[in-house]
A and B are shown apart, each in its own frame.
Chain A
Amino acid sequence: MTARRTLIDLGVAAVAIAAIAAVLELWTRAFHVPSYLLPAPTAVAARMATDAGLLAREGGITLSEAAAGFVLGTSVAFALATVMAWSRPLERTLFPLAILVKLTPIVAIAPLFTLWFGFGTAPKVAIAALITFFPMLVNSFVGLRSADLQEVAFLETLGASGREIFQHLRVPSALPYLFSGARISLNLALIGAVIGEWTGADRGLGRVIFVANANLDLTILFGAVLVLAAIGIAANALVGAAERRVLHWHPIAVAT
């Protein structure tokens, strides 16, 4: 049933994408739109085929930076959310700082990351981590606090320790929120890695996009954007599959 539904979903998405591409193709051909303004989808596809190796290599680099940033950012966020869920005073202290991080324009401070972390992958990972931090923090915090208070009281009457309550009640209760945070954070991590690559990098899809924009080479620019989108969709599908597997008992798994 699930496989059939997935196939139907993919089919609908493919038809929608094909329809949009067809309209764009007709538009660019009918009005002779120059490629430096809007390349025809067939031109983008041809370029992606020609430069498939380049796009795959650079996409792999961006993906690895985003993945590292995602793991780092979400881990720190979960740890901090645990502390905040544990203690009201710490929640009141840390939450404004988290909002400060959230409101900081990443593009404005991205160049500083090169000064702090050097030219390698570290600044890209750090930016990806920073941008994933807040959604996961909020989702983890709300999730950990969402445990039923009567269930908490029941476990306490059974003599369960705080650690046991955390492990067997709070974390399972938080799982739907964690997966929701992960879905948001994964895509943000990709954007963070690309922003990092814009501010000084010699590899990655962000650099491909940056250089293509400077050269008005929109076929490779859109090719890189499509590869980035494909990575995002695949990552989301992966999280969705994990969510359905882990939360098979939860209504959310049935709904997704």
Chain B
Amino acid sequence: MRALAFLVPVMLAACNIPAAGPSPTPVPVEKVTFIAGFKPQADLPFVAVYVAQEKGYFRDQSLEVEIQHATSGEHIQLLATNRAQFSTGSAGDVMKRVASAGVPLVSIAQIGQRDEQSFAVRADSPIRTLKDWEGRLVGYKSTVSADYLALLQLGGVDRSKVREVAVGFDPRVLADGRVDVYPVFTANEPDTLARIGVPVRLFDPTSLGVPGLGLSFITNQQMVDTKPEVVTRFLRASLRGLADAIADRDAAIDVVMKYATGEDRAHQRYMLDTEIDAAQNDLTRANGIGAMDRARYVALRDFLLQYGGLTKSVDVDAVFTDRFVKDLYKDGRLAWR
């Protein structure tokens, strides 16, 4: 019996199953809306919410969660006006919107610990180093991004020798040879290109030392100020869903496919695997997935200011808070109650 008492917690820890805390005191059910920042797909924060919904974790937390998906960025306004209470956004985008438009957004858990974007060249391309970008046609999706400019500086690239062109969001322009370097969302576009017979090599800004962060769970200032307990409950259930997704990726994709009707399952799995890798680093291994580090936010803000990603500075303490994530993890393990 004593052996069993010892073994159970050890096995739970090995399976990354959250530790059970004291039984919850019954609380009134709260209706909230989560609007994913894009179409249904295996972006890790989306998966976390899908799985939490599927397994009843929100219900266990006395939450009734309606899941919606944004199609063209409307999630930010919906969140700002509290028509939705939770959403997703990259840390850089959150800073930009707080700084430039004063939108009251707050990041509450940092899921993606790496820059979402990389720069792809065809696998058979003679471009091997950043310096090789000189004389080449380099694409940008909508505006010239800060990470691109940082890479040019890191590589000692003379920007006047690089031809830049707006390429939109269709990676086939790289496959077609219309550009030499194409900015990709690391989690999905390399796989999209590989599937049409164009394997790529990546210049990954994070690996090259450029400060970048990926998707985070976000809410609005009103929720943080007036309903912090609801924020905590939402995050607790979502992070448990996320832990389940990491523990059983096939089962998680089963759930994703219920939302992402018509999508390719293998492609969704590629996305999930890539985002799980990007969600883990030394910080999260010590403090749990979703952990936030103020120093990284400061570095990101300063970097964006330096390269024109932000037009004016922003108080990082206004755009992120780690109080919820810190409360949810005990010794690096999610406390479930």
Interface status of B159 (Cβ within 8 A of chain A) = no
- Report the interface size for chain B: residues with CB under 8 A from the other chain: 24
Q: Which of A73-130 contact B (CB under 8 A)?
A: 111-112, 114-115, 118-119
1/0 per residue, CB under 8 A from B, across A187-228: the answer is 000000000001111100001001101111100000000000
The verdict on A50 contacting chain B, using a C-beta distance below 8 Å, is no
Q: Which chain A residues lie closer than 8 Å to B143 at the CB level?
A: 211, 214
A37-B80, A115-B172, A119-B178 given; A200·B101 CB < 8 A = no
**Beta-carbon contacts of B127-144 to A below 8 Å, as 1s and 0s?**
000000000000000110
Contacts of A207 in B (CB 8 A): 166
Whole-angstrom distance between the Cβ of A119 and the nearest chain B Cβ: 5
Min Cβ gap B141→A in Å is: 9
1/0 contact string of B20-38 vs chain A (CB within 8 Å): 0000000000000000000
Contact pick for B178, options A34, A35, A37, A115, CB 8 Å? A115
B239 CB–A CB distance under 8 Å: no
With A35-B101, A119-B178, A211-B143: A199-B165 Cβ-Cβ less than 8 Å: no
Cα distance A201–B169 when bound, in Å?
A: 11
Q: Which applies to chain B's interface (DSSP): helix, strand, loop or mixed?
A: loop
Contact assessment for A115 and B173 in the assembled complex, using a CB-CB cutoff below 8 Å: yes
Q: Is B96 an interface residue (CB 8 A)?
A: yes
Residues from chain B with Cβ under 8 Å of A115 in the complex: 170, 172-173, 176, 178
Stretch of B69-77, B199-207, B255-263, B290-298 on the interface side: B69-77
Q: Point out the residue from B72, B81, B142, B167 that lies within 8 Å of A37, measured CB to CB.
A: B81
Please state if A213 and B73 are interface contacts (CB–CB under 8 Å). Answer: yes
| Cross-chain contact of B101 among A119, A210, A211, A216 (Cβ < 8 A) | A216
Q: Mark B152-186, 1 if CB is under 8 A from A, else 0.
A: 00000000000001111110110010100000000
Instruction: Judge whether B333 is part of the interface by a CB distance below 8 angstroms.
Output: no
A34 engages B102 (CB within 8 Å): yes
Q: Are A216 and B100 CB-contacts (below 8 A) given A37-B80, A199-B168?
A: yes
B100 contacts A215, C-beta separation under 8 Å: yes
Assess whether B326 is interfacial by the CB under 8 Å rule.
no
A215 touching B167 by the CB < 8 A rule? Answer: no
Q: How many residues of A contact B (CB 8 A)?
A: 23
B103 at the interface (CB under 8 A from A): yes
Interface centre among B96, B97, B102, B170 (most CB of A within 10 A): B170
With A and B bound together, what is the CA distance between A199 and B173 in angstroms?
A: 12
Chain B residues within 8 Å of A198, by CB: 168
Asked if B170 and A114 sit within 8 Å, CB to CB, the answer is yes
Starting from the known contacts A115-B176, A200-B170, A214-B143, 10 additional A-B residue pairs (CB-CB under 8 Å) come to: A36-B77, A37-B77, A111-B169, A115-B170, A119-B165, A198-B168, A200-B166, A200-B167, A214-B73, A215-B101
4 nearest interchain CB pairs? A200-B168, A111-B170, A36-B101, A216-B101
11 CB-based A-B contacts, threshold 8 Å? A37-B80, A115-B173, A115-B176, A115-B178, A119-B167, A198-B168, A200-B167, A214-B73, A215-B100, A216-B77, A217-B101
